Amino acid sequence: MSIDIGTITLVLSFLYIMQVLALFIQWRLDRLHSGPGWWAAGITFLGLGFAFATLRVFPQFALIGTLVNLPLYLTALVLLYIGLLKFFNQKVPWPGLAAFLIFFVIEHAFFTLVINSLTVRRLVFNLATIYISVLCAWFLFRRAAGSIRASAMLVGAVFALHGVDFLGATILIFFNPIPANVLSASPDVILAYFDAIFIGTMWTFGFILMVNQRLSAENREESENRQRIFNTSPDSVIITHFENDQITEVNDGFVAATGYTRQEVLGKSLSAINLIKNPEDLKIIDDKVRQMGQCENVEVIFVRKNGSEFTVMLSARKIDLHSEPHTLSVSRDISDRKRLEEELTKEAISDNLTGLYNRRYFMNVAQSELTRCLRFSHLLTVALLDLDYFKQINDTYGHQAGDQALITFTQICKTNIRSMDVMARIGGDEFALLFPESNQEQAFLIIERIRQTSAASGLNLDGKEVVISFSAGIASLTGSENTLSTLLARADQNLYQAKLAGRSQTIYEKLASSQ
């Protein structure tokens, strides 16, 4: 009985080509791990080994076929082993594997060219094959855990079966002499080709299964990690459908920040739940995402389920989810930061004791008003006020009483000036008033109203009624004047004249009034 090695080799070649293509595709899918690439190379060398084996039927190529086919086959096994190590991110023992292959090639050449012994060549080859197969099987059995346990056990079993096949072939050599005719259907030849067809196919199937199981596990783990990150983020994350604005998912941060449950918002639009206080803000965000694909750091006000409000910094981006366009919005609560900014701003422009504006802010506002009034030829008046005998209040009743006097005087002024007027504390007991769109006479009337209220509102200090009085100087813009410093200097000069005249009075260029 003879075997048509050419036909069998043709079948094997077709099988190996398909297997190499399948492994190459898997390698492209899993570029993070180089294992599938080494496996594809191993199956390629396996096919080449059988291809060179067919050369032995041609006398002129018999020696080449004999010298090359078994080393190619053993190299294929080594490449498969390297692929396993790479797949599991293990260190490859390059020196040991190289020495192993070099030793086999030298031995194979010696028993081919020097001492032509087919039996020795087959025995050494079989033992080497058994060694690599057991090495691969043992490695896989030890690594078979987690998501790829089943596929790793399968491939390990295939390698173990491969070793058993060659162990059987080795035993058959001792009971059945190897015929010189390679076309002979000897038991070891039949077993070798059966092994090549079945084991080679199972290797490829198992390798692909391992890659797919790991990819599936990594995708699942990545999805779980994304979901975990999505839900553990303290920021509010909202995913809405790009076309109809319906909410498809929110995270735990959104639930905690807004008070809405997932069930209450899923399937509804942002406008339907009135999440964003100003509808114009929602339109601005939507327009930017539609035109540019994203918007960054838009400050908006969110409304909680209970009606309370808080300020957020919102960024949104267009994403594809389940092959459909969606909008991913991330909002960070900046209410505390806004409050801090407001407090810092207030501290920077106001007096801590009275709550009035400080000198720096008053000067900035006054300069802006002066520029505007000069440009449009509008009226502008300033007044400087000093409390009378304030030092005596501090010395007699203490600084706490002096502070109370300043606070009381401030409250009286606030109730008598207009909303458009600007008042500041510019010194210890010194105050400044800015009267836009007012002349000296109008400012004088307001100041005198303050004086009357102050006289009627005594301050009780240690059981004694103390009246808070003050002196004031007023100055208005004139046609020849165009600087703030000269305007304030004129008001200060009038204030000085009010003090010289006996205090508790108001002076400006045309009129003086005393009480």
pLDDT digits (tens, 9 = 90+) for 358-414: 999 999 999 999 999 988 889 999 999 999 999 998 888 888 999 999 999 999 999
Mapping DSSP onto H, E and C, the string for 413-433 reads HHHHCCCCCEEEECCCCEEEE
Q: How far out from the chain centre does Cα 483 lie?
A: 53
Task: Say how far apart CA 197 and CA 22 lie, in whole Å.
Answer: 16
Task: Say how far apart CA 382 and CA 432 lie, in whole Å.
Answer: 7
Position with higher pLDDT, 454 vs 181: 454
Q: Predicted confidence band at 515 (pLDDT cuts at 50, 70, 90)?
A: very low
The pLDDT, as a whole number, for residue 209 is 86
The pLDDT, as a whole number, for residue 5 is 54
Please report which helix (H) or strand (E) contains residue 234, including its range: none
| Cβ-based neighbour number of residue 317 at 10 Å | 15
Give the contacts of 429 (CB within 8 A, at least 6 positions apart).
Answer: 386, 387, 390, 406
Q: Of the segments 349-353, 392-396, 492-496, 508-512, which one has the largest average pLDDT value?
A: 492-496
Q: How far out from the chain centre does Cα 398 lie?
A: 58
Asked if 511 contacts 440 with a C-beta cutoff of 8 angstroms, the reply is yes
- 145-160 mean pLDDT: 88
Q: What is the pLDDT of residues 60-96, one digit of tens each?
A: 888 898 899 899 999 999 999 999 999 888 999 999 9
Partnered with residue 324 across adjacent β-strands are: 321
Asked if 299 contacts 305 with a C-beta cutoff of 8 angstroms, the reply is no
Q: What is the pLDDT of residues 449-462, one digit of tens each?
A: 999 999 888 788 77
Task: Say how far apart CA 480 and CA 475 lie, in whole Å.
Answer: 13
Q: Of the segments 49-53, 223-227, 232-236, 389-393, which one has the largest average pLDDT value?
A: 389-393
Task: Say how far apart CA 91 and CA 74 lie, in whole Å.
Answer: 20
- 23-38 mean pLDDT: 74
| Cβ-based neighbour number of residue 315 at 10 Å | 16
DSSP track, 139-205: HHHHH--GGGHHHHHHHHHHHHHHHHHHHHHHHHHHHSPPPS-TTB--HHHHHHHHHHHHHHHHHHH
Q: How many CA atoms lie within 13 A of 71 on its CB side?
A: 18
The structural domains of the chain, ordered by start, are 5-227 (1.20.1070), 233-335 (3.30.450.20), 350-514 (3.30.70.270)
Q: What is the pTM of this model?
A: 0.53
- 255-262 mean pLDDT: 92
Confidence check: pLDDT of 512 > 60: no
Using alpha carbons only, what angle is made at residue 204 by residues 222 and 48, rounded to the nearest 5 degrees? 135
Q: Name the DSSP class of 379.
A: -
Q: Name the DSSP class of 509.
A: S
- Which candidate, 475, 357, 463, places its Cα nearest to that of 410? 357
The pLDDT, as a whole number, for residue 465 is 83
- Which candidate, 73, 40, 101, places its Cα nearest to that of 162? 73
Q: Predicted confidence band at 258 (pLDDT cuts at 50, 70, 90)?
A: very high
Task: Say how far apart CA 15 and CA 46 lie, in whole Å.
Answer: 11
Confidence check: pLDDT of 273 > 60: yes
Task: Say how far apart CA 19 and CA 201 lie, in whole Å.
Answer: 7
Q: Predicted confidence band at 228 (pLDDT cuts at 50, 70, 90)?
A: confident
Q: Of the segments 55-59, 113-117, 177-181, 321-325, which one has the largest average pLDDT value?
A: 113-117
Kindly provide the b/e burial profile for residues 366-383, where b requires at least 16 CB atoms within 10 angstroms of the residue's own CB: beebbeebeeeeeebbbb
Position with higher pLDDT, 336 vs 136: 136
The pLDDT, as a whole number, for residue 462 is 74
Q: Predicted confidence band at 158 (pLDDT cuts at 50, 70, 90)?
A: very high
Q: What is the pLDDT of residues 197-225, one digit of tens each?
A: 788 888 888 888 888 888 787 777 777 76
Q: What is the pLDDT of residues 120-141, one digit of tens each?
A: 998 999 999 999 999 999 999 9
Asked if 327 contacts 305 with a C-beta cutoff of 8 angstroms, the reply is no
- Which candidate, 205, 204, 196, 137, places its Cα nearest to that of 169? 196
The pLDDT, as a whole number, for residue 338 is 84
Q: Predicted confidence band at 1 (pLDDT cuts at 50, 70, 90)?
A: very low
Query: 470-476 and 505-507 as β-strands: parallel, antiparallel, unpaired?
Result: parallel
